[in-house]
A and B are shown apart, each in its own frame.
Chain A
Amino acid sequence: MRRAAFVTVVLAALALGISVVRAAEVRLAHAAQGKVATSEVKIDNFSFGPATLTVPVGTTVTWINRDDIPHTVVSSDDAKTFKSKVLDTDEKFSFTFTKPGTYPYFCSIHPKMTGKVNVQ
């Protein structure tokens, strides 16, 4: 009887321990997610908002089109570092900036629309 009780207690402690560790893991994951920064650029009224965005290295920037006309997000450099497909209203495009630098971009459909991401 005592042995069974002892085993139950040990198992319960183990279960508790595991759940505590699990909870900690989840907290760590959330914290890690917090470190993987995400940032958003809204496209509306034929403009990128904010027009200039400054983010830390490793950030994933997501552009979302809230305009009633399609737009694209294309980096202005020759290498075409990033290039979205055509984004209709409510469509998104994401790019993760792994290297520091200045990344000017524009909408290839309406080239007067320009923006910039500064990665530090």
Chain B
Amino acid sequence: MSKKNGDEILHDHNHDGVDRRGFLKCMAWAGTGAFCVIKGGVLNSYSLSNLSGIGAKEAAGDFGFVQISDSHMGFNKAANPDVAGTLQVAVEKINALPGSPEFILHTGDISHLSKPEEFDAVEQILKGAKPKEIFYVPGEHDVLNDDGKQFLERFGRKARGSGWYSFDKNGVHFVGLVNVLNLKAGGLGALGRDQLEWLENDVKHLKHSAPIVVFAHIPLWSVYPEWGWATEDSAQALSYLKKFGSVTVLNGHIHQTMQKVEGNVTFHTAASTAFPQPQPGKADSPGPMKVPAEQLKSVLGITDVKYVQGQHALGVVDSTLA
């Protein structure tokens, strides 16, 4: 059933040339540093250590981009005393990816304490990345003390409200959302009515075949509400995206990779470039998790995303920093 270098489509229920079970299998490979390209309906997997065997054409989908998250510039406790160093390693990883990712999405907690010098340091380090265009959405650590005013001035000049916006690249519609402001006691992440209204209008007239990528800091699906790893009103947001054939939701906040496929929606969270956090319920609290120094880079990571024209689901691959 499985060939040496690829799997054939066995279950094409949605008639879109994508084998969902195979796609899930591909995503499971991601934990071992595999690189999947969905091309012509066939999944091809390559081990990251074997990438020299891939030609540029094989590595290329139609276009790709990178997601990084939770750089927490300014954090300096035991879990990682050098977050600038690990962010630098992430940049080197990005620059070593096959194909050329066109831009970077940063899903928030750029800084640790919302300090200007922390934002400056991240922007400076990311200047060394080959993709020059970077899109940001804030994490809760980026909007301390000023309700996100500084974040908005720095990264949200073209944004609406507290920093939400959308843009199109190569036929894919990207939506950056903010779910870390106006949080209520005992509550979860929140989008709020204004943002939801904007979102509804933003996607209303798009063709159903347009692939959508939504990115926001706190997960838009219920990962672990006890630790605040969910968004109060995300169901409303997702209802506006029901009609689309391909929706990819990229989040951060939980400092570990996790994925879920629900119909046409693929949810994915990225690892942090700063420090890991425990798995849901596996610790007293979701705080920074200490690992032996030599293991740190293996629990931090970046995410490579590829879009292939005609294929609905995007190829999402996580790789660790070491």
B and A form one assembly: yes
**Assembly CA distance A110 to B287 (angstroms):** 11
The number of residue pairs between A and B whose CB atoms lie closer than 8 Å in the complex comes to: 55
Asked if B186 is at the interface of the complex by the 8 Å CB criterion, the answer is yes
Cβ–Cβ < 8 Å partners of A76 in chain B: 185
* Contact partner, A114, options B113, B185, B226, Cβ 8 Å: B185
* Contact partner, A70, options B78, B144, B188, Cβ 8 Å: B144
Please tell me if the beta carbons of B185 and A85 are within 8 angstroms of each other in the complex: no
Given known A46-B286, A70-B113, A86-B113, contact A110–B186 (CB-CB < 8 A): no
Please tell me if the beta carbons of B140 and A109 are within 8 angstroms of each other in the complex: yes
B-contacting residues, A83-120, CB 8 Å: 85-86, 88-89, 104-106, 108-112, 114
Please tell me if the beta carbons of B77 and A110 are within 8 angstroms of each other in the complex: no
Cβ–Cβ < 8 Å partners of B112 in chain A: 70
Asked if A68 is at the interface of the complex by the 8 Å CB criterion, the answer is yes
Say what secondary structure dominates the interface of chain B: loop
* Contact partner, A112, options B144, B228, B288, Cβ 8 Å: B228
Asked if B14 is at the interface of the complex by the 8 Å CB criterion, the answer is no
- Chain A 46-63 per-residue mask, 1 if CB under 8 angstroms from chain B, else 0: 110000000000000000
Asked if B63 is at the interface of the complex by the 8 Å CB criterion, the answer is no
Given known A70-B144, A112-B226, A112-B227, contact A89–B77 (CB-CB < 8 A): yes
Cβ–Cβ < 8 Å partners of A70 in chain B: 112-113, 141, 144
Closest to A72 in B: B144
Please tell me if the beta carbons of B185 and A109 are within 8 angstroms of each other in the complex: no
